[in-house]
DNA sequence: CTGAAAGCGCTTACAG
DNA sequence: CTGAAAGCGCTTACAG
């Protein structure tokens, strides 16, 4: 490349990056040569030299049938616009896989990490952060020392109970994910808190089932719904932590020929757009995947680019969920 | 690091990579020092030196509510097991975004690319391939000069017609994506061919609607279904190219109070697991996301690692779709 | 305005 | 068995 244009590689770099003045005719010669050879500067080598990878690791539990499919698209779009790539990892909520992914990412491949963590690798995450890699938690804020972008699950769940109460429901049940003990995952825990707050306030009975094992499993949602109805035949509303559980509830209710919403109302607390695509559409508290994805990306890149200035930048953002009322309530 | 263990960096490299014999006590000293400093070799620098990126670019239209959410998880799992990362890009089926993504990927960041392309950047893809980057097409085989892993859409669609015919349907309609003209996308085109083959063979009338604009749009699926029913009130079966269109059909049929499957049967031709999570579950010809994802990853990595041997390795794999009979038919 | 040199953090023939 | 050197493909102060 350099020899074709008859200049020094340094000049090629200067010309192609518009980084310092190059004599117009030299520049023209370089550009012509680049076109002829179909030359593309090796971005990898540049990143290596400059110490910036222009890459963000995104670590999420799953994208299949979860809000993360939407969030990851928003992250990628935003990152691309800002000149960054996305390195994608999914953990299935297995702490070991998560640690494995994080350890590979830290080894020089990314400038920053956006993660919805299991909460079991906080120490590792802090270590990686200290090493100089920007970190933003999304959806699950397991460590307040690290930036986070989440929804207000407590409030959404609290409001959902009130919403159903106002509709006349008095036996309001919750199908939730792991929210107690060592393996509790933050948003489930917080939803449970919002649920209890509302239920206590309104003098209702708490009826709660926790899916165990695999998170976001339809089958697990169905068995929770079964157990719920068998043990609490008076139930007149079912709130579910995520859409897939809501779909599971709708499914079981149809099998049992229980009219929705007349007899039992169903509300999902993590609406992602599937709720509106159903035969009987699902009322839900919608998170804005775009708000979460966009701001997480923004924050992680700001943190990356502030590194030079050595400002510590830990920020916490919380978005409200908005009620989308549909047919199931 | 090297000075703490009191050895040359080269020795550190040898010890940590087990690449040549190092005196046990030296090695022990190095490992101890690495542990103390929490040292992780910079994989990026290594990749740079060795000319291998251990990274695969994955370019797909969308992951939200499409089979690609599943495929990309399978690719990532497989790639991780084989020591590769996934760089994720989504194009929204916009040829310009696709070109932009490809041009960034080619600039030294990946050893290989797995793509479900729009079909509008074949020349660019070949150029990138010639440049030495392995390429495997998934789901959409727009260029036979490049490896591909697809399902047999023609056959699946052909079989679906027969399946419905055998159930007594005589007015079998198809809601399809772009399958004609310059912007046709391969699997839609192939499904259409399978449809026509079966319909001709059975002496049926072809009733076909094509969604335009955004692929995989629920709203577009609903309007196709509307048009279909308005213009062909005798319709007794609706086949849809993808699950989202199937859901759209189910939705509209419920709104119109048309009994499924008694009056009209619905079959999706790209089952991904949502079909089984619905109130009325959706019969579909299931693609194996795992088969496609795993083998695409395998092939692209084989192609990458064969590069050294300079063997040209273009392979085409076709998997059959399997019928999952559910409530909608 | 542009060349020559140094260097990003590793790996790998080459010596010894 | 391990050091010293070269080099992956760029960028960027430093000269001139």
Predicted pLDDT of residue B205: 96
Highest mean pLDDT among A46-55, A279-288, B155-164: B155-164
Q: B202 vs chain A: nearest CA distance in angstroms? A: 32
Interface contacts (A, B; CB < 8 Å): 140
CA B82 / C1′ C4 distance in Å: 43
> Measured at the alpha carbon of residue A244, what is the angle toward residues A258 and A182, in degrees to the nearest 5?
115
Q: Give the tens place of pLDDT for each residue, B85-143.
A: 999 999 999 999 999 999 989 988 899 999 999 999 999 999 999 888 999 999 999 99
Work out the percent of chain A whose per-residue pLDDT is above 70. Answer: 98
CA A196 / C1′ C3 distance in Å: 73
DSSP-assigned letters across all residues of B68-102: HHHHHHHHHHHHHHTT-EEEEEE-TT-HHHHHHHH
Predicted pLDDT of residue A250: 97
DSSP A107: T
Residues of B in contact with A247 (CB under 8 A): 277-279
B51 DSSP β-pair partners: none
CA A20 / C1′ D15 distance in Å: 16
Close Cβ partners of A257 (under 8 Å, ≥ 6 residues apart)? none
Pairwise CB contact (< 8 Å): A72 & B63: yes
- Does pLDDT of A309 surpass 70? no
- What's chain B's average pLDDT? 93
Residues of B in contact with A69 (CB under 8 A): 63-65, 69
CA A29 / C1′ C1 distance in Å: 15
The number of CA neighbours under 13 Å toward the Cβ of A155 is 11
| Nucleic strand D near CB of residue A45 (< 7 Å) | yes
Nearest CB to B69: which of A44, A69, A250?
A69
Pairwise CB contact (< 8 Å): B279 & A254: yes
B contact test, residue of A277, A288, A290 with most B CBs within 10 A: A277
CA A36 / C1′ D16 distance in Å: 32
Predicted pLDDT of residue A229: 97
- For A290, the 3-state DSSP assignment is helix
Q: B155 vs chain A: nearest CA distance in angstroms? A: 27
Closest to B71 measured CA to CA, from B140, B12, B128 = B140
B324 DSSP β-pair partners: B284
CA B31 / C1′ C11 distance in Å: 18
Close Cβ partners of B187 (under 8 Å, ≥ 6 residues apart)? B139, B140, B150, B151, B153, B177, B241, B270
Predicted pLDDT of residue A195: 98
Overall average pLDDT of the A197-217 stretch: 93
Tokens 């952060």, residue? Answer: A129
- Does pLDDT of B2 surpass 80? no
| Nucleic strand C near CB of residue B130 (< 7 Å) | no
Close Cβ partners of B13 (under 8 Å, ≥ 6 residues apart)? B19, B41
Phi, psi for residue B90 in degrees, rounded to 5: -130, 145
Pairwise CB contact (< 8 Å): A103 & B40: yes
Residues of A in contact with B64 (CB under 8 A): 69-70, 73, 273
Predicted pLDDT of residue B251: 97
- Does pLDDT of B308 surpass 70? no
- Does pLDDT of B312 surpass 70? no
DSSP-assigned letters across all residues of B180-222: SSTT--HHHHHHHHHHHHHHHHHTPPPEEEE--SSTT-HHHHH
Query: Distance (Å, rounded) from C-alpha A214 to C-alpha A310?
Result: 40
Q: Give the tens place of pLDDT for each residue, A34-57.
A: 888 888 888 889 988 988 889 999
Of the pLDDT bands very low, low, confident and very high (cuts 50, 70, 90), residue B296 is very high
- For residue A153, give both structure tokens: 């699950």
Q: A203 vs chain B: nearest CA distance in angstroms? A: 33
Query: Distance (Å, rounded) from C-alpha A243 to C-alpha A226?
Result: 17
Within B 33-52, residues with CB less than 7 Å from strand D: 48-49, 51
Phi, psi for residue B269 in degrees, rounded to 5: -100, 0
DSSP A66: S
Q: What is the pTM of this model?
A: 0.94
Give strand letter and number of the nucleotide nearest B24 (CA to C1'): D1
Closest to A139 measured CA to CA, from A153, A125, A127 = A153
Predicted pLDDT of residue A315: 94
Overall average pLDDT of the B153-159 stretch: 96
Overall average pLDDT of the B294-315 stretch: 84
- Does pLDDT of A308 surpass 70? no
B contact test, residue of A93, A278, A287, A297 with most B CBs within 10 A: A278
Q: Are A264 and A171 in contact (CB under 8 A)?
A: no
Q: Give the tens place of pLDDT for each residue, B178-206.
A: 998 888 999 999 999 999 999 999 999 99
Pairwise CB contact (< 8 Å): A89 & B69: no
Peptide bond into B261 cis (omega under 30): yes
Predicted pLDDT of residue A1: 74
CA A99 / C1′ C15 distance in Å: 42
A75-94: buried (b, 16+ CB within 10 Å) or exposed (e) per residue? Answer: bbbbbbeeebbbbbbbbebe
Predicted pLDDT of residue B213: 72
Q: B190 vs chain A: nearest CA distance in angstroms? A: 26
Pairwise CB contact (< 8 Å): B273 & A53: no
Overall average pLDDT of the A28-33 stretch: 88
Query: Distance (Å, rounded) from C-alpha B242 to C-alpha B284?
Result: 9
Give strand letter and number of the nucleotide nearest A9 (CA to C1'): D10
Predicted pLDDT of residue A125: 97
CA quadruple B158, B163, B166, B167: dihedral positive or negative? negative
CB-count burial class (<10 Å; 0-12, 13-18, 19+) for B111: buried
Nearest CB to B279: which of A65, A244, A250?
A250
Name the residue with higher pLDDT: A312 or B68: B68
Of the pLDDT bands very low, low, confident and very high (cuts 50, 70, 90), residue B310 is low
Tokens 């697991």, residue? Answer: B273
| Nucleic strand C near CB of residue B259 (< 7 Å) | no
Q: Which nucleotides of C are covered by protein (CB under 7 A)?
A: 1-5, 7-13
| Nucleic strand C near CB of residue B206 (< 7 Å) | no
Predicted pLDDT of residue A312: 65
Pairwise CB contact (< 8 Å): B80 & A87: no
- For residue B102, give both structure tokens: 């490809």
Residues of B in contact with A41 (CB under 8 A): 107
Q: Are A134 and A76 in contact (CB under 8 A)?
A: no
Residue in chain B lying closest to A60 (CA):
B73
Closest to A328 measured CA to CA, from A227, A199, A204, A237 = A237
Nearest CB to B42: which of A107, A248, A277?
A107
CA B46 / C1′ C13 distance in Å: 17
Of the pLDDT bands very low, low, confident and very high (cuts 50, 70, 90), residue B21 is confident
Give strand letter and number of the nucleotide nearest B22 (CA to C1'): D1
Close Cβ partners of A299 (under 8 Å, ≥ 6 residues apart)? A136, A147, A149, A313, A315, A317
- What's chain A's average pLDDT? 93
Radius of gyration, CA atoms only, chain A: 25
Give strand letter and number of the nucleotide nearest A51 (CA to C1'): C8
Alpha helix positions (H), A18-121: 24-37, 43-50, 68-81, 95-106
Closest CA to C7 C1' — which residue? A49
Closest to B72 measured CA to CA, from A319, A62, A254 = A62
- Does pLDDT of A247 surpass 80? yes
Highest mean pLDDT among A45-54, A106-115, B102-111, B233-242: B233-242
The number of CA neighbours under 13 Å toward the Cβ of A31 is 11
């Amino acid at each position: 490349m350099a020899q074709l244009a008859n200049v020094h590689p340094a000049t090629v770099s200067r010309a192609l990056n518009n980084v310092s003045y190059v004599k117009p005719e030299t520049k023209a010669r370089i550009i012509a040569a680049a076109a002829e050879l179909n030359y593309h500067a090796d971005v990898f080598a540049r990143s290596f030299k400059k110490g910036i990878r222009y890459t963000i690791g995104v670590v999420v539990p799953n994208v299949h049938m979860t809000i993360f499919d939407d969030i990851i698209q928003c992250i990628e779009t935003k990152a691309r616009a800002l000149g960054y790539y996305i390195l994608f990892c999914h953990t299935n909520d297995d702490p070991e896989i998560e640690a494995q992914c994080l350890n590979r990412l830290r080894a020089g491949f990314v400038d920053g990490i956006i993660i919805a963590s299991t909460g079991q690798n906080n120490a590792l995450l802090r270590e990686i952060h200290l090493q100089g890699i920007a970190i933003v938690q999304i959806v699950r804020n397991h460590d307040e020392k690290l930036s986070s972008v989440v929804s207000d699950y407590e409030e959404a769940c609290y409001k959902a109970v009130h919403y159903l109460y106002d509709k006349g429901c008095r036996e309001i049940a919750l199908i939730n994910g792991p929210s107690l003990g060592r393996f509790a995952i933050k948003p489930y825990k917080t939803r449970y808190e919002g649920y209890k707050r509302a239920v206590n306030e309104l003098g209702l009975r708490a009826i709660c089932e926790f899916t165990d094992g695999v998170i976001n499993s339809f089958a697990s949602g169905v068995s929770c719904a079964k157990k719920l109805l068998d043990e609490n035949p008076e139930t007149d509303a079912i709130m579910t932590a995520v859409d897939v559980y809501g779909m599971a509830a709708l499914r079981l209710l149809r099998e049992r020929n229980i009219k929705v919403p007349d007899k039992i109302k169903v509300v999902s607390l993590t609406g992602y757009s599937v709720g509106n695509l159903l035969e009987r559409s699902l009322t839900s508290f919608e998170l804005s995947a775009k708000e979460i994805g966009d701001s997480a990306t923004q924050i992680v890149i700001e943190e990356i680019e502030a590194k030079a200035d050595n400002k510590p930048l830990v920020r916490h953002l919380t978005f409200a969920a908005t009620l989308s009322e549909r047919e199931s309530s």
